[in-house]
C-alpha cells in the first residue's frame, strides 16, 4: 500500500474551503488589530478539519502569530484537566503572575498544589488570564483538534475562554466531529460545518493522490461514493490497484466507504510485525504528553525502540522524537481493533510504569482497565483517585472513577455507595442525564435509611435540573421520612432543598403543598451544631410564614436575617441561598439586609468562580437598583448576569428576568413579550414564582399608563395568593390601583393587611409604603402629612424610585387641591428623577400634571454617552467605585485588555479622557444619583 503517497498529498495546496479560509483570515486579522475570537469547524471523520488547522497554522506563522496546538486523545478522556494541562504546559512558567485565587485554582486543577476545591469557572478565568497575558506580547492562536476526545473539564474550560474573548489578540480554533453540537459548549461561537469537497476539487485531490493513470469514469465514481471526503479519497485512491484506477478491472461494489478508513488503517497495522503492533497499541492507550511512561511500559513488555521503525516506514507513525500517529483516526482504530486480553496487558504495563505519587489518577485508571472481573484493590485505588480528581475540580473524572470503582467492587453496600457518589459527582459536573442510570444500579443494595434518603435527594436534585421544580419538594420530604432521626444535619439539608423548591414552585405542587413542607420543617428537631451562617433559622422562619401567617413569622425572619448579617462568614449552598434571602428580606421590607447579604454571597461566589450562583445574586441586586431608580445600572447588572449564565453554557431565556425593568422604562412591547416568556417557562418547569414576578411587572406598567382597572386585576391575583415577598410588595400597588379605579372597598382590605404587616416589620420601607397608602385613602387634610412622612422615610434607605412615586402622588393631590405652587415642587422633582432615570411612563404622568399647574416641563436631552452598552456601563460604574482594571477584570470574569477596550469606548462616548471624570459624565447622561 502506497501510504507515503497519501502522506505526501497533505503537502499540496489546500483545495476549495473558501468560506473556511475566509473565516481564518478574518480571525487572524482581528487578532492583529488587538481583538480576539473563536471558530469551530464541525464535520465527519476525515472531512479535512485537521487540514484546515494545518492551513491556519501556516497562515499564522506567516503573520508572525504564536501557535499552541492540542489534539484530543480518547484514552485521556478520564483525566480531568489533562488536555488543558498539555495545552498550557509551554506557558506554565507564567503561572506565578496570575492573581492569587486564579493561580491557586490552576495549580489545584493540575495537581501542582493542595488547596480547597475551587469552582471550574475560576480555572477558566485563570486560563483566560494566562493565555491573554501571552497574547499581550505576541498574538496567540490556539488550535484544538479532536475536541470530542477532550476530557469534559478541559472542553468546558476552553469553551469558557472562547466565549469571553474580546480585546485580547487571542484566537481559538476548534475542530470536532459531527455531534459535538449536542453538548452545547460552542453554541455562542462562529461555527462552520465542513462538508465534502465540491466535485471539481475532489477530482483534483484524487488525481494528486493517485500516482498512475486515473480513468475519468472511475474518478467520478470514487468522488460520488466518498461524498468528497478528502481522507476517504486519498486512502481509497491508495488502496485500489493500478488496474482498478485505470478502469480495466472493476472496483468493489459498493465502495467500502462507511468503514473504509477504520478498516483500512487496521489492515495496514495488521501487516506489521507483532512487536510493532503491540507498541502501537501501547501508544494508543498511553498519555500523549509523557513519552517516558510509554518507553518505561515498553520495557515492561519487553519491547525495544526499534519496534517503532516499521510503523514509521509504513507511515503509521510520524517521524518525530516522541512517537505519534500520523492521523488521529489511526489511534482510535488501533485501540478499537485490539482484543480485551491485549488491552488488559497493555494497561497493566502502563499501570506499572506510572508514578503513583505524581499521577495517581492515571495509574488507578490503567490498573482498573487491566482488571478482569471484580477487583477490590483496583476499586480502592480508583476511589482514592476520585478524591484526588475532586480536589482538582474534576467532577467528571471523579464520576467516571467512582462508576468504574463500583463495577469492580464485590460488596453490594459498598458498591451502591460508590454508585451514589458517582451520581453526585455527575450532578456537580452538570451531566444530569447520567444520574438516573447510576441510581438504578445502586437501588438493589440501598438497605440503610441514610443511603435511601441520599438516593432520593440525588434523584430530586436531578429532577430540579432536568424537568420540573414542582416535583422536587415531595421527593425531598420522602427522603426526610426515609431518614427519620438518623442524621439531623442531613435532615436540615433536605428540608432546605424542599423549602427552596416549594417557594419557587408555589402551589399546586406534585404530591405535596407549601403548607405540608412548612409543617415538616417546624416538626424537625433542631441541629445543635449548626454554624452561625447556617440557613436553618431562615428556613424555619419561612416555614412559619407559610404555615401560620405573616404575623407569627416576621420576628423570626428578622432575627434570621440579623444572624446572617452578624455572621463573620457566609457560605452558599448547592442550591443558591440568595433566592431565599431575597424572598425573606423583601417580605419584611428590609432593603439594607437584602443588599448586604446578597452582596456578601456574591463576593463568596465570585471568589470561588461559582458563576451560576453569582448570576442569581447579580440579578437580585439588579432588582434593588430598580427600586433605587438606577435603571441603567440595573440593565447593566442583568447583562452581567446573562453573561455569567452564557459563560457556563446556560441558555438565557430571552429577557426572562427583566420584566420589572422594562415596566419601569415604559417599554410595553418588551414587557408583554417577557411576561409571555415567564408564563411559558413557569408552565414548562413548574416555576410558580415567575408568575408572581410577571404580575408585578404588569401592575407597574399599567399604573404608569393610568390603566388602573388592569393594574388592580393583576395586584388582586397576588393579594389572594399572598406569596412571600410578592404578596407584600404588591399591597401598596393594589391600594393605589384600587383607589384610582374607584374601588375603595378593595383598597381598604389591602390597606388593613398592609397596616398590620408594615407596623410589624417597622422598617423605613414598610412604614413609607404604609404612609403613602394612608395618604391615598385619606379624603381629608391629613393626607399631606402622610405623603410627607412617606417621602422622608424613603430618604433613609436606597429606594429613590419609591420616593419619586410618593412625590408624584403628593403632587397630584396638591394640584387637585389647587395648591399649584406646592404641587410644582413635588411634580418637578418627580419628573426630573423619572426623566433622568428613563422611567418614561411615570415621567409622562408627572409632565402632564406639571402642565396642568401652568408649568412646562423641560425634557432632558440625552447626552452623547446615552448609547453606552450595558457592559460598558458596568465597567464604567466599577471604575467609578475605585476598582483597578485588574480588579474589574476579576469581578466580571474578563481580561484586563477587555476592560481597557471598554473603558476606551466609554471615554470616547462620554467625551472624557480620564477615569476621574466618569462619575460626572455618567451623571450628565443618567441624571443625578438618587438621594440614598
Q: CB under 8 Å to 565, separation ≥6 — which residues? A: 593, 596, 597
Mean pLDDT in residue range 899-917? 91
Long-range CB pairs of 111-117, under 8 A, 24+ apart, other chains included: 111/359, 111/388, 111/392, 114/391, 115/391, 117/390, 117/391, 117/392, 117/393
Give the tens place of pLDDT for each residue, 817-867: 999 999 999 999 999 999 999 999 999 999 999 999 988 777 665 554 568
87 vs 231, higher pLDDT: 87
pLDDT at 252 over 60: yes
CA distance 332 to 266: 10
pLDDT confidence of 9, banded at 50, 70, 90? very low
Mean pLDDT in residue range 461-479? 83
Give the tens place of pLDDT for each residue, 383-427: 999 888 877 767 788 889 999 999 999 999 999 999 999 998 888
Burial of 30 (0-12, 13-18, 19+ CB in 10 A): middle
pLDDT at 20 over 80: yes
pLDDT at 262 over 50: yes
Q: What pLDDT shows up at residue 258?
A: 44
Long-range CB pairs of 514-523, under 8 A, 24+ apart, other chains included: 514/546, 515/546, 515/547, 516/477, 517/473, 517/477, 517/543, 517/546, 518/542, 518/543, 518/544, 518/545, 518/546, 518/547, 519/543, 519/547, 520/477, 520/480, 520/495, 521/495, 522/547
Q: What pLDDT shows up at residue 630?
A: 93
Q: What pLDDT shows up at residue 45?
A: 81
Q: What pLDDT shows up at residue 259?
A: 57
Q: What pLDDT shows up at residue 329?
A: 72
CA distance 88 to 96: 14
pLDDT confidence of 6, banded at 50, 70, 90? very low
Give the tens place of pLDDT for each residue, 266-285: 878 888 999 999 999 999 88
pLDDT at 323 over 80: no
pLDDT confidence of 754, banded at 50, 70, 90? very high
Q: What pLDDT shows up at residue 391?
A: 75
pLDDT confidence of 241, banded at 50, 70, 90? confident
Say what percent of the chain tops pLDDT 90.
58
Q: What pLDDT shows up at residue 4?
A: 32
Q: CB under 8 Å to 105, separation ≥6 — which residues? A: 115, 118, 122, 123, 125, 126, 393, 609
Q: CB under 8 Å to 377, separation ≥6 — which residues? A: none
Max mean pLDDT among 468-477, 555-564, 652-661 falls in: 555-564
CA distance 850 to 743: 26
Least confident of 7-21, 600-614, 737-751: 7-21
- On whether the CB atoms of residues 828 and 857 are closer than 8 A, the answer is yes
Long-range CB pairs of 505-508, under 8 A, 24+ apart, other chains included: 505/468, 505/469, 505/470, 505/472, 505/473, 505/686, 505/687, 505/688, 505/689, 506/470, 506/688, 506/689, 506/691, 506/692, 506/721, 506/723, 507/688, 508/470
Largest CA distance in the chain: 110
Radius of gyration of the chain (CA): 33
703 vs 922, higher pLDDT: 703
pTM of the model: 0.82
pLDDT confidence of 11, banded at 50, 70, 90? very low
The string of DSSP codes covering 834-845 is HHHHT-HHHHHH
The string of DSSP codes covering 717-738 is HHHHH--TTHHHHTHHHHHHHH
pLDDT at 652 over 70: no
What is the chain's mean pLDDT, rounded? 88
pLDDT at 654 over 70: no
pLDDT at 70 over 60: yes
128 vs 44, higher pLDDT: 128
pLDDT confidence of 7, banded at 50, 70, 90? very low
Q: CB under 8 Å to 193, separation ≥6 — which residues? A: 42, 43, 178
pLDDT at 593 over 80: yes
Amino acid at each position: 500500500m502506497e501510504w507515503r503517497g497519501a502522506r505526501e498529498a497533505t503537502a499540496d495546496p489546500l483545495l476549495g474551503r473558501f468560506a473556511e479560509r475566509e473565516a481564518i483570515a478574518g480571525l487572524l486579522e482581528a487578532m492583529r488589530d488587538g481583538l480576539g475570537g473563536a471558530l469551530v469547524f464541525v464535520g465527519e471523520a476525515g472531512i479535512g478539519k485537521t487540514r484546515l488547522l494545518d492551513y491556519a497554522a501556516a497562515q499564522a506563522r506567516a503573520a508572525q502569530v504564536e501557535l499552541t496546538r492540542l489534539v484530543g486523545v480518547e484514552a485521556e478522556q478520564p483525566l480531568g484537566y489533562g488536555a488543558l494541562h498539555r495545552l498550557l504546559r509551554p506557558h506554565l512558567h507564567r503561572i506565578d503572575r496570575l492573581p492569587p485565587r486564579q493561580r491557586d485554582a490552576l495549580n489545584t486543577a493540575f495537581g501542582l498544589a493542595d488547596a480547597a476545591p475551587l469552582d471550574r469557572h475560576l480555572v477558566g478565568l485563570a486560563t483566560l488570564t494566562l493565555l491573554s497575558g501571552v497574547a499581550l506580547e505576541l498574538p496567540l492562536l490556539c488550535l484544538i483538534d479532536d475536541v470530542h476526545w477532550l476530557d469534559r473539564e478541559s472542553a468546558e474550560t476552553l469553551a469558557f475562554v472562547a466565549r469571553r474573548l474580546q480585546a485580547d489578540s487571542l484566537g481559538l480554533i476548534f475542530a470536532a466531529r459531527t455531534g459535538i453540537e449536542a453538548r452545547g459548549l460552542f453554541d455562542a461561537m462562529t461555527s462552520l460545518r465542513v462538508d465534502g469537497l465540491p466535485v471539481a476539487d475532489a477530482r483534483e485531490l484524487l488525481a494528486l493522490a493517485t500516482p498512475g493513470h486515473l480513468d475519468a469514469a472511475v474518478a467520478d465514481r470514487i468522488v460520488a461514493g466518498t461524498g468528497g471526503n478528502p481522507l476517504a479519497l486519498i486512502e481509497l485512491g491508495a488502496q485500489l490497484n493500478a488496474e482498478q484506477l485505470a478502469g480495466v478491472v472493476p472496483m468493489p461494489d459498493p465502495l467500502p466507504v462507511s468503514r473504509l478508513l477504520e478498516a483500512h488503517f487496521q489492515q495496514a497495522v495488521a501487516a506489521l510485525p507483532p512487536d510493532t503492533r503491540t507498541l502501537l497499541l501501547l501508544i494508543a492507550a498511553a498519555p500523549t504528553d509523557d513519552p517516558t511512561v510509554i518507553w518505561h511500559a515498553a520495557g515492561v513488555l519487553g519491547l525495544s525502540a526499534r519496534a517503532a521503525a516499521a510503523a514509521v516506514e509504513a507511515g503509521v507513525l510520524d517521524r518525530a522524537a516522541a512517537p505519534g500517529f500520523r492521523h488521529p483516526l489511526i489511534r482510535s482504530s488501533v485501540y478499537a481493533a485490539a482484543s480485551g486480553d491485549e488491552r488488559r496487558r497493555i494497561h497493566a504495563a502502563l499501570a506499572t510504569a506510572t508514578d503513583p505519587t505524581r499521577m495517581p489518577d492515571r495509574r488507578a485508571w490503567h490498573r482498573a482497565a487491566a482488571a478482569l472481573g471484580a477487583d477490590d484493590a483496583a476499586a480502592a485505588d480508583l476511589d482514592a483517585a476520585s478524591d484526588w480528581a475532586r480536589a482538582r475540580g474534576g467532577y467528571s473524572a471523579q464520576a467516571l472513577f467512582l462508576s468504574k470503582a463500583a463495577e469492580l467492587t464485590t460488596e453490594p453496600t459498598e458498591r451502591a455507595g460508590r454508585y451514589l457518589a458517582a451520581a453526585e459527582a455527575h450532578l456537580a459536573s452538570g451531566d444530569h442525564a447520567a444520574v438516573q442510570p447510576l441510581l438504578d444500579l445502586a437501588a438493589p443494595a440501598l438497605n440503610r435509611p441514610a443511603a435511601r434518603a441520599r438516593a432520593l435527594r440525588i434523584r430530586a436534585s436531578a429532577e430540579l435540573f432536568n424537568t420540573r421544580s414542582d416535583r422536587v419538594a415531595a421527593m425531598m420530604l420522602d427522603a426526610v421520612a426515609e431518614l427519620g432521626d438518623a442524621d439531623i444535619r442531613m435532615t436540615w439539608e433536605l428540608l432546605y432543598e424542599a423549602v427552596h423548591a416549594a417557594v419557587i414552585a408555589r402551589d399546586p405542587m406534585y404530591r405535596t403543598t407549601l403548607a405540608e413542607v412548612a409543617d415538616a420543617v417546624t416538626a424537625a428537631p433542631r441541629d445543635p451544631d449548626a454554624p452561625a451562617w447556617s440557613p436553618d433559622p431562615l428556613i424555619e422562619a419561612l416555614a412559619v410564614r407559610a404555615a401560620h401567617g405573616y404575623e407569627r413569622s416576621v420576628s423570626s425572619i428578622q432575627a434570621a436575617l440579623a444572624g446572617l448579617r452578624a455572621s463573620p462568614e457566609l457560605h452558599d449552598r448547592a442550591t443558591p441561598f440568595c433566592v431565599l434571602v431575597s424572598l425573606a428580606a423583601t417580605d419584611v421590607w428590609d432593603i439594607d439586609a437584602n443588599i448586604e447579604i446578597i452582596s456578601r454571597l456574591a463576593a463568596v461566589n465570585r471568589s470561588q468562580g461559582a458563576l451560576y450562583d453569582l448570576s442569581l445574586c447579580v440579578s437580585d441586586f439588579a432588582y434593588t437598583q430598580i427600586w433605587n431608580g438606577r435603571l441603567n445600572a440595573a440593565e447593566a447588572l442583568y447583562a452581567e448576569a446573562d453573561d455569567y449564565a452564557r459563560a457556563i453554557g446556560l441558555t438565557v431565556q430571552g429577557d426572562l428576568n427583566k420584566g420589572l425593568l422594562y415596566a419601569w422604562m415604559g417599554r410595553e412591547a418588551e414587557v408583554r413579550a417577557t411576561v409571555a416568556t415567564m408564563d411559558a417557562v413557569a408552565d414548562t418547569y413548574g416555576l410558580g414564582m415567575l408568575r408572581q414576578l410577571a404580575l408585578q411587572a404588569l401592575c407597574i406598567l399599567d399604573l404608569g399608563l393610568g390603566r388602573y382597572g388592569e393594574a388592580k386585576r393583576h395586584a388582586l391575583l397576588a393579594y389572594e395568593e399572598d406569596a412571600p415577598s410578592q404578596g407584600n410588595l404588591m399591597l401598596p400597588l393594589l391600594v393605589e390601583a384600587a383607589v384610582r379605579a374607584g374601588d375603595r372597598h378593595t383598597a381598604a382590605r389591602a390597606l388593613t393587611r398592609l397596616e398590620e404587616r408594615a407596623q410589624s416589620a417597622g422598617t423605613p420601607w414598610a412604614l413609607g409604603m404604609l404612609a403613602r397608602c394612608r395618604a391615598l385613602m385619606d379624603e381629608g387634610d391629613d393626607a399631606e402629612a402622610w405623603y410627607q412622612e412617606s417621602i422622608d422615610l424613603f430618604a433613609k434607605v436606597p429606594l429613590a424610585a419609591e420616593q419619586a412615586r410618593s412625590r408624584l402622588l403628593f403632587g397630584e393631590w396638591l394640584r387637585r387641591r389647587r395648591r399649584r405652587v406646592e404641587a410644582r415642587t413635588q411634580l418637578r422633582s418627580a419628573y426630573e428623577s423619572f426623566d433622568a432615570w428613563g422611567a418614561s411612563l411615570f415621567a409622562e404622568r408627572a409632565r402632564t400634571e406639571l402642565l396642568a399647574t401652568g408649568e412646562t416641563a423641560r425634557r432632558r436631552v440625552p447626552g452623547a454617552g446615552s448609547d453606552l452598552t450595558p457592559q460598558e456601563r458596568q465597567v464604567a460604574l466599577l471604575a467609578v467605585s475605585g476598582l483597578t482594571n485588574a480588579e474589574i477584570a476579576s469581578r466580571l470574569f474578563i481580561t484586563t485588555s477587555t476592560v481597557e477596550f471598554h473603558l476606551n469606548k466609554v471615554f470616547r462616548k462620554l467625551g472624557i479622557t480620564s477615569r476621574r471624570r466618569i462619575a460626572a459624565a455618567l451623571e450628565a447622561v443618567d441624571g443625578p444619583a438618587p438621594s440614598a
